A and B are shown apart, each in its own frame.
Chain A
Amino acid sequence: MSPFNAAGFEALFNPKGVVVAGASSHPGKFGFVALHNILACGYEGAVAATNRDGGEVLGIATAQDIADLDADTYDLVFVCTPASANVDLLRAAAKKGIKAAFLTSAGYGEAGEAGIVAQQELVALAAELGILLAGPNGQGVVSTPAKLCAQIVAPYPPAGKIGIASQSGNFVSSFMNLAVQSGVGVSRAVSAGNAAATGVADYLEYYANDPHTAVALAYLEGVNDGRGLFERLRSIAARKPLVLLKGGATSGGQRAAASHTGSLASDDRVFDGMCRQAGITRAANVEEAFEAAASFATQPLLQGPRTIVITTAGGWGVVTADAITNSELELAVLPDDLKAQIDTKLPPRWSRNNPIDLAGGETRDTIPEVLQLVAEHPDVDAIVYLGLGIQSNQAQLLRNGRFYPDHGIERIVAYHERQDTRFAEAAAEISAATGKPIMTATELGIADPNNAGPAAVRDSGRLCYSTANRAVTALEHMWRDARYRQRRSRVNG
Chain B
Amino acid sequence: MPTLSEVESKRLLAQHGVPMLDEQIVPTAEAAVAAANEMGYPVVAKLNGDAIAHKTERGLVKLNLRDAASVHAAASELLSAATPDDGEVQVLVAPMLKGNRELIAGMLSDEQFGPTVMLGIGGVLAEAIQDVVFRLVPITEIDAHEMIEELSTQKLLGEFRGEPAVDRESLVAVLLGLSKLAAADPKIVSVDVNPLIVSPLDGRPLAVDALVEVAS
Q: A residues bordering B, Cβ < 8 Å?
A: 223-227, 230, 264-267, 269-274, 276-277, 487-488, 491
Say whether B110 faces chain A, with CB atoms less than 8 Å apart.
yes
- Expressed in whole angstroms, the Cα–Cα distance for A274 and B146 within the complex equals 12
B111–A266 CB distance below 8 A: yes
B142–A487 CB distance below 8 A: yes
Interface centre among B113, B140, B143, B146 (most CB of A within 10 A): B113
Residue of B nearest to A268 (CB): B134
Chain B residues positioned under 8 Å from A265 (CB to CB): 112
Name the one of B136, B140, B147 contacting A230, with C-beta atoms under 8 angstroms: B136
- State the interface size on chain B (CB cutoff 8 A): 18
A227-B136, A276-B135, A277-B135 are known contacts. Are A270 and B142 too (CB-CB below 8 A)? no
A276–B150 CB distance below 8 A: yes
A269-B134, A272-B134 are known contacts. Are A226 and B142 too (CB-CB below 8 A)? no
- 16 extra interface residue pairs, beta carbon distance < 8 Å, beyond A230-B113, A274-B136: A226-B110, A266-B110, A266-B111, A267-B134, A269-B132, A269-B133, A269-B134, A270-B112, A270-B113, A272-B133, A272-B134, A273-B133, A273-B134, A273-B136, A274-B113, A276-B146
Residue of B nearest to A272 (CB): B134
Say whether B14 faces chain A, with CB atoms less than 8 Å apart.
no
Chain B residues positioned under 8 Å from A226 (CB to CB): 110-114
- Expressed in whole angstroms, the Cα–Cα distance for A223 and B133 within the complex equals 19
Say whether B116 faces chain A, with CB atoms less than 8 Å apart.
yes
Chain B 80-117 near chain A by CB (<8 Å), digits 1 or 0: 00000000000000000000000000000011111010
CB distance from B158 to the nearest CB of A (A): 17
Say whether B139 faces chain A, with CB atoms less than 8 Å apart.
yes
CB distance from A118 to the nearest CB of B (A): 27
Chain A residues positioned under 8 Å from B114 (CB to CB): 226-227
Chain A residues positioned under 8 Å from B116 (CB to CB): 270, 273
Chain A residues positioned under 8 Å from B139 (CB to CB): 277
CB distance from A480 to the nearest CB of B (A): 10
- Expressed in whole angstroms, the Cα–Cα distance for A266 and B110 within the complex equals 7
Residue of A nearest to B143 (CB): A277
CB distance from B134 to the nearest CB of A (A): 4
Chain A residues positioned under 8 Å from B146 (CB to CB): 276, 487
CB distance from A253 to the nearest CB of B (A): 15
Chain B residues positioned under 8 Å from A224 (CB to CB): 112
Chain B residues positioned under 8 Å from A277 (CB to CB): 135-136, 139, 143
Q: B residues bordering A, Cβ < 8 Å?
A: 110-114, 116, 132-136, 139-140, 142-143, 146-147, 150
Name the one of B113, B135, B140, B150 contacting A266, with C-beta atoms under 8 angstroms: B113
Chain B residues positioned under 8 Å from A488 (CB to CB): 142
A491–B142 CB distance below 8 A: yes
Residue of A nearest to B139 (CB): A277
A267–B135 CB distance below 8 A: no
CB distance from A271 to the nearest CB of B (A): 8
Name the one of B112, B132, B143, B150 contacting A223, with C-beta atoms under 8 angstroms: B112
Chain B residues positioned under 8 Å from A230 (CB to CB): 113, 136
Residue of B nearest to A273 (CB): B134
B111–A264 CB distance below 8 A: yes
Chain B residues positioned under 8 Å from A491 (CB to CB): 140, 142
Interface centre among A226, A266, A271, A273 (most CB of B within 10 A): A273
- Expressed in whole angstroms, the Cα–Cα distance for A277 and B175 within the complex equals 14
CB distance from B209 to the nearest CB of A (A): 23
Interface centre among B111, B139, B140 (most CB of A within 10 A): B111
Residue of B nearest to A231 (CB): B136
Chain A residues positioned under 8 Å from B136 (CB to CB): 227, 230, 270, 273-274, 277
Chain B residues positioned under 8 Å from A487 (CB to CB): 142, 146
Residue of B nearest to A269 (CB): B134
Chain A residues positioned under 8 Å from B132 (CB to CB): 269
- Expressed in whole angstroms, the Cα–Cα distance for A266 and B136 within the complex equals 13
- Expressed in whole angstroms, the Cα–Cα distance for A388 and B136 within the complex equals 45
- Expressed in whole angstroms, the Cα–Cα distance for A270 and B114 within the complex equals 10
- Expressed in whole angstroms, the Cα–Cα distance for A274 and B116 within the complex equals 9
Interface centre among A223, A269, A491 (most CB of B within 10 A): A269
CB distance from B46 to the nearest CB of A (A): 31
A277-B139, A487-B142, A491-B142 are known contacts. Are A264 and B134 too (CB-CB below 8 A)? no
Chain B residues positioned under 8 Å from A264 (CB to CB): 111-112
Interface centre among B116, B134, B150 (most CB of A within 10 A): B134
- Expressed in whole angstroms, the Cα–Cα distance for A265 and B132 within the complex equals 18
- Expressed in whole angstroms, the Cα–Cα distance for A225 and B111 within the complex equals 10
A267–B150 CB distance below 8 A: no
CB distance from A491 to the nearest CB of B (A): 7
Interface centre among A223, A270, A274 (most CB of B within 10 A): A270
CB distance from A233 to the nearest CB of B (A): 11
CB distance from A337 to the nearest CB of B (A): 31
- Expressed in whole angstroms, the Cα–Cα distance for A86 and B142 within the complex equals 50
Residue of A nearest to B115 (CB): A227
